[in-house]
Amino acid sequence: MDKNELIPWLMEGDPAIRWQTMRDLEGTPVNRWQTEQRRTLHEGWGAQLLALQAPDGSWGGGIYSPKWISTTYTLLTLRAIGIPRDHPPAQKGAALVLDKLLGQTRDDQFMRNLAACDRCIVGMNLSLAAYFGIRDARLDAIVENLLSEMMPDGAWNCRRQRKPKPHHSSFHTTFNVLEGLREWLEWLESTPEYTLRNDVLNAEKSALEFVLDHHLFKSDKTGKIINDKFTMLSYPHRWYYNVLRGLVYFARVNAPHDERLQDAIALLHGRRRADGTWPVQHKYPGKVFFDMEKVGGPSRWNTLRALRVLQWWNGE
């Protein structure tokens, strides 16, 4: 079953799936897919999550925990669903996350909190702040901090301050950071040239080279699979890495084709079901408000994401 045969099935899904299918696979005019995007505020998964927000702007009784119902992880899901960026309740939640985890202003305490914070969480903070429209000096501080925290091999590791000190970047951390930096870069596309932009693009290139050296899921020394869960199509992926998450990022930035991607592309083809769809193969334990999809069956989320990757890979 090819992409065009799968589109009607995707369009039977949640508004989150429909609007992204229209934009990314069908090339629908902007005004039409934006109309569908706005439905996420009033229908389906987006509306369900928004209805669970507390009066103070939080979800789940916490900012980062409990996983996966906290404010941070709920907003990450709403960002993936693609609710409009200017939705005031979500903007209130994103501001709350930044205020509580790092601080309300770029002062000395903010900088100390930033230096001590887990790199994965810093990357998530940046992605939510950039997506939901927080525009102040704190974002510049976060970007500068992430650039200064790169490991010698060109990417990031959230355990950098722990003992024993790591000497190798982490795929999990690297993609949480990259996604934050990419949200920030895409915001900059509508602004004048900014001094940190080229530094961030160079950091992104360095990190993707680190990933390519590992063929997205293999040891650069032995060629063996680093972690079997890297090869499983998990979604939502939370803070964890898997091959599809990596490939989606390469497609998102329209990265040049590289032969070191071939193993990951082959793995993606190998995960395809006989009916042409892709499944959710694994979920990470934790509290959830509800499951968007069940493990094992056809997944509209993963099918949409896989088709994006193959559209990029095939040069369509």
201 near 208, Cβ under 8 Å? Answer: no
| CA separation for the pair 59, 94 (Å, rounded) | 11
pLDDT tens-digit readout, 60-114: 999 999 999 999 999 999 999 999 999 999 999 999 999 999 999 999 999 999 9
State the pLDDT confidence band at 287, using cuts at 50, 70 and 90: very high
State the pLDDT confidence band at 193, using cuts at 50, 70 and 90: low
297 near 4, Cβ under 8 Å? Answer: no
Structure confidence at residue 190 (pLDDT):
64
Peptide bond into 66 cis (omega under 30): yes
Query: Residue 143's Cα: distance from chain center in Å?
Result: 17
Q: What is the mean pLDDT of the chain?
A: 95
83 near 118, Cβ under 8 Å? Answer: no
What integer is the mean pLDDT of 207-234? Answer: 97
Token pair of 126, please?
């940046």
Token pair of 58, please?
């939080």
Q: Is the pLDDT of residue 189 over 90?
A: no
57 near 89, Cβ under 8 Å? Answer: yes
Element (H, E) at 184: helix 171-188
| CA separation for the pair 52, 48 (Å, rounded) | 7
What integer is the mean pLDDT of 125-139? Answer: 96
Q: What pTM does this model have?
A: 0.96
Element (H, E) at 298: strand 298-299
